[in-house]
Structure 1
Amino acid sequence: MTTSAARPVRIGLQLQPQHADYAKIRATASEAEDLGVDIIFNWDHFYPLYGDPDGLHYECWTMLGAWAESTSRVEIGALVTCNSYRNPELLADMARTVDNISGGRLILGIGSGWFQKDYDEYGYEFGTAGGRLDDLADALPRIESRLDKLNPQPQRKIPVLIGGGGEKKTLKLVAKHADIWHGFADPEVAERKIGILRAHCADVGRDPAEIELSVGVQGEPDEVGPKLRELGVSTFTVGTGGPDYDLSALSKWIAWRDAQNS
């Protein structure tokens, strides 16, 4: 049986769709693909998360459709889709469509949502964190069911990535539904979250080795990478925002990946 530690290292880039025009975003996606990145993510917000709060910004899923055409090798996805913004059946159909356009390269990243400005400005009910997680728990089986019904089918079983570290609800949903767990954590926090995830897997009768472990990283690969690798993390994602999209950190992580996988 494959274990998490046996998975090869993969490197992701969160190409944040803010403070730049789309031509720059597209060019950066192409540059990252040429550098050898494994996955390119955007995010699902309607406004910038830092810098000018009313600065340039683009919608997530229409951009993923464009990336499906403008890239050829990398996997693509949102880190992460906000469950609140789209009917689950519609989201499943969108994911299937982008997966087909890309030739089977979509990762369906999803979370419960948290950025209140998006909700307020676009007319969604913000509610409570617990309520949004309950909505996600309701949506995931509906997404899975709709994906099974669509014609044509996706090019592959679309990997579901669930982002978040909530110990009682989010990680339980990961154990039930996810192919990939993504967290934003230093090694000490990641160790705790992974331990709790494994306990939830035991509760639902799932082998935790089936779930790929993914972490957003900062800092030097040689310092951060080995500690997370020991925990079974195999996907390491760096983020960059506009207008400049500095890929120097990404290059370091790609070089580290190549050394680890050689």
Structure 2
Amino acid sequence: MTRPVRAAAHIWPGGAPDYRTWRAAVLRAEELGADIVFGYDHFHKPAVRRTANGIELEPVQPDVPNFEAWTALASWAEITTTAEIGVLVTGIGYRNPDLLADMARTVDYISGGRLILGVGAGWFEKDYAVYGYDYGTLRSRMDLFAEGLRRIEHRLANLTPKPLRQIPILIGGAGERRTLPLVGRHADIWHSGLDRETFRRKNDIVKQHAAAAGRDDSVIERATNWTTAGQADVLLAEGITLHVTELKPTDEGYDFTTLTGLLAWRDANR
């Protein structure tokens, strides 16, 4: 399957001066030509830094203005017209999976069939602790994630009316024991963020799990984080066609420089 190169804006609400600024950023990303606009599913903005080992939490996690993801998505479904929309990614432990499927179906209708359902096991302990959810262990969260995916797919197939399209399920992560089997079995989009050699090895694992589930792995769109055009060229050659750039607010609002760079690279490769 030959896929188009696509560009997504992951627009963080946490720390925005107000809701209108976040809303305006969503509209601006669509106006610039983003194929997808994502939010995040955090009740508090995670203060993080990127290291050679991945994302690490800062020792201090201050409270800043923030907004809930799915109520915002319903608004985005009304105010946008062309971009797909979603959350990168929904924490499975925060909502009953059958309810989440119904929420997704409803937003799919509001948007005219533009929803992507990003789902993950959850990882930011502060979200759980402050809002009264059981954080559990990585194992218990992954168990809940696996069962939640099964329930979501079952509910989506049995809702009346059914979604306007088969809502794409996005799964993020690269854990070989638990996450990649779920990618092979359930994902329509796999978001990883790996270097070329690591991606090659783990992509082979995804292919094996997809085959074991009776799926053609070409139905799974590969996604990663945008860094530079040169790195994107390398990853495109490996079959990664969806690139996602983060837009984090400052006191002055959002800077769209990285998004415009990503869009220029996308257009040059279409």
Range class of TM-score, shorter chain: over 0.9
Partner deviation per Cα, 1:54-109 (whole Å, 9 max, x = no partner): 00111110111110011111000000000000001100010001000000000000
Paired residue secondary structure (1:110): strand
Partner of 2:195: 186
Q: State the match for 2:231 in structure 1.
A: 224
Paired position in structure 2 for 1:42: 39
Preserved contact between residue 119 and residue 125 of structure 1 (Cα < 8 Å): yes
Deviation for aligned residue 1:145: 1.2
Select the residue among 5, 11, 16 that pairs with 1:15: 11
Superposition RMSD in Å: 1.2
Q: Residue 26 of structure 1 contacts residue 70 of structure 1 at CA under 8 Å; is this kept in 2?
A: no
Query: Which of 210, 227, 242 is the equivalent residue of 1:235?
Result: 242
Q: Which amino acid aligns with 2:189?
A: I
* 1:151-181 alpha-carbon deviations (Å, 9 max, x no partner): 2221111000011111111110011111111
Matching residue within 27, 30, 46 for 2:27: 30
The aligned runs of 1:111-260 (5 Å cut-off) are 111-218=120-227, 220-221=228-229, 223-243=230-250, 244-260=253-269
Question: Separation in 2 of the partners of 1:24 and 1:18?
Answer: 11
Aligned to 1:106: 115
Decide which moves more: 234-243 or 46-55: 46-55
Which of 60, 65, 73 pairs up with 1:56?
Answer: 65
Paired letter, 1:13: A
Gaps of 5+ in 2: 49-60
The letter for the 2-side match of 1:235 is L
Q: CA deviation at 1:188?
A: 3.1
Matched length: 255
Distance 1:112 1:101, change over 3 A: same
Deviations 1:95-153 (A, max 9, x none): 00100000000000000000000011111111111111111111111111111222222
SS at match of 1:98: helix
Deviations, residues 35-59 of structure 1 (Å, cap 9, x unaligned): 1010000010010112862001111
- Output the TM-score relative to the length of structure 2: 0.91
Which amino acid is 2:42 matched to?
H
Structure with more helix by fraction: 1
Contact 2:226–2:262 (8 Å) recurs in 1:
no
User: Does structure 1 retain, via aligned residues, the 8 Å contact 2:93–2:141?
Assistant: yes
CA distance in 1, matches of 2:77, 2:95: 20
Aligned equivalents of 1:138, 1:47: Cα separation in 2: 26
Greater shift in the superposed pair: 52-61 or 8-17: 52-61
Letter in 2 for 1:117: K
Q: Partners of 2:117 and 2:62 in 1: how far apart? A: 27
**Greater mean alpha carbon deviation, residues 128-137 or residues 193-202:** 193-202
Letter in 1 for 2:10: Q
